[in-house]
Amino acid sequence: MASSQAQAASRSTIPASGEQTAAERENRADSRRRGRGALSNSSGRFEPLARQPEDDGWDLTEELPPLKTEITIERPRHIITKNDSPDISFDRSINPYRGCEHGCIYCFARPTHAYMGLSPGLDFETKLFSKAGAASLLERELSAPRYQPKVIAIGTNTDPYQPIEREQRVMRGVLAVLHRTKHPVAIVTKSALILRDLDLLAPMAEQGLVKVALSVTTLDPLLARKMEPRAAAPEKRLDAIRQLSEAGIPTAVLVAPIIPAINDAEIETILTRAKAMGACEAGYVMLRLPLELHDLFREWLLAHYPNKLRHVLSLVRSVRDGKIYDSTWGKRMTGSGPYAWMIGRRFEAASEKLGLTRNKKKLRTDLFVPPQRGAEQLSLF
C-alpha cells in the first residue's frame, strides 16, 4: 500500500504531456531574445490596442527560433533633418537607419519606433528601416541653389555603423557624397565598422572636414554584453580610437550614457584608456529615460541588477528634479542636483588632468563644392 502511494505521489510531480514549468517557459523566451537588449515588446504609445503575450499553459514544447532582424526599405522625401535645439551643437543631421540592431537598453531613440506603429522594445532592435536612397537624396539637397553648408551630424539618433551597414552600405554612400562635395561631417558611433571607411575619412580629415566620436560606456565586457549586446566590444572601440587617431582623424570619446550605480565608477578609467589610444576630446551624457524607455530600463534592471533597482532609479530621479525624466533644454544632457554636480566635477577634473579639452574642433565649411545638378524631370504631382 505504501509503495502504491509513493508511486502516485511521484506521478503527480511530473508535468503532463505538453505542459511546461514556468522556468522552462522563461528559458524558451530567453533563447528567443538571446543577443537582444530589451526583454519585452509592448505596443507603442500611439496604438489603439495594447498587445502583450500571456502564457495560457497551452504552449507547445518545441523551441521557437531566435528573433531575426527584419529590414524594410524606406523611401523618405528628404534626408537632412533640421533642428533648433539650443543645447546641441548642430542644426542638421542625417539618420541612415530607423531602429538599431545594437540593442542598447538605454537608447533614448527607442520611443521613436512608436511613430512607425512598432514597439520601442524588441521591435526597435529587430524591425529596422534602411534609407537606401539616402545618397541620391543628399546630392539633390546639397545642390539646392540656396543651400548653405554647416556641419552635418550623423549618429546622434541611431548608429550609422550598426551591423546591417555591412550589407546595406547606406552610410558609405552618404559619406562618399560628403567626401566628393567637401562637406563637413561629425560622426558618432560605438562600432569598429567605421574603420572600413578610412579611405574616405582620412582625406577629409586632412582638409578639416570630419571628426569622429566613439561612445564607450564601460570597459567591462560582461556589462557591455548586457547593456548593448550587438555593439562592438569595449576593447574594439578603444582600438578604433587608436586607428582613427593614427590616421589623422580628430577623435573624441563619449562616456555616454552615465548610468548611476552601474557604470559611473568607470569615468576616469574610460577617459584614461581613451586618451592613451589617441582621443583628443571627451564628452558625457547623463542617462535619459523618456516615455517607454523608463519601463524598458526598469525591466532590464529587475532582470540583471534586482538589488540595485531602487538605488539606481532613486539616483535617476535625483538628477531630474524628482522625476524619471526632464526634457528641459540645458538640463536634459547633464541633469541637476548634488549627484549630477559631482559627476560633472569628476568628469571635468579627469578631462583637465588628461588634457582632453572640451573645446570643440571647428570644421571647415568654405571648401564646399555643390554637386552638379543633373537633368531633372519635373513631377506631375
Q: Are 125 and 100 in contact (CB under 8 A)?
A: yes
Q: In terms of Cα–Cα distance, which of 187, 84, 180, 87 is closest to 136?
A: 180
Please check whether residue 103 is in contact with residue 39, taking contact to mean a CB–CB distance below 8 angstroms: no
To which CATH superfamily is domain 70-354 assigned? Aldolase class I (3.20.20.70)
pLDDT of residue 64: 66
- Rounded to 10 degrees, the C-alpha dihedral 198/196/234/108 comes to 100
Burial of 251 by CB count in 10 Å (0-12 exposed, 13-18 middle, 19+ buried)?
buried
pLDDT lower than 50: segments of the chain = 1-25, 375-381
State pLDDT tens for residues 164-191: 999 999 999 999 999 999 999 999 999 9
Burial class (CB in 10 A: 0-12, 13-18, 19+), 271: buried
How far is it, in rounded angstroms, from Cα 87 to Cα 80? 19
Give the end-to-end CA distance of the chain in Å, rounded to a whole number.
Answer: 88
How far apart are the C-alpha atoms of 101 and 122, rounded to whole Å?
Answer: 10
User: Element (H or E) spanning 26, and its range?
Assistant: helix 22-33
Angle CA 350–351–356, to nearest 5: 150
CB-side neighbour CA atoms (13 Å) of 107: 32
Q: Which residue, among 255, 259, 269, has the nearest Cα to 311 in the 3D structure? A: 259
Q: What is this structure's pTM?
A: 0.87
At residue 130, φ and ψ (nearest 5 deg) are: -110, 125
**Contacts with 133 (C-beta within 8 Å, 6 or more apart), sequence order:** 75
> Do the beta carbons of residue 276 and residue 123 sit within 8 Å?
no
pLDDT (tens digit per residue) in 39-75: 999 888 887 777 666 666 665 555 667 889 999 999 9
Cell of 132: 537606401
Q: At what angle do helices 338-354 and 267-276 cross, to 10 degrees?
A: 20
Cα–Cα distance for residue pair 125/230, rounded to 1 Å: 10
Signed CA dihedral, 99, 102, 103, 106: sign only = negative
Per-position DSSP letters for 64-91, written without gaps between them: PPPPPPEEEE---S--PEE---TTSS-S
The three three-digit cell numbers of residue 343, written as one number? 559627476
Sign for the CA dihedral angle at 7, 9, 11, 14 comes to: negative
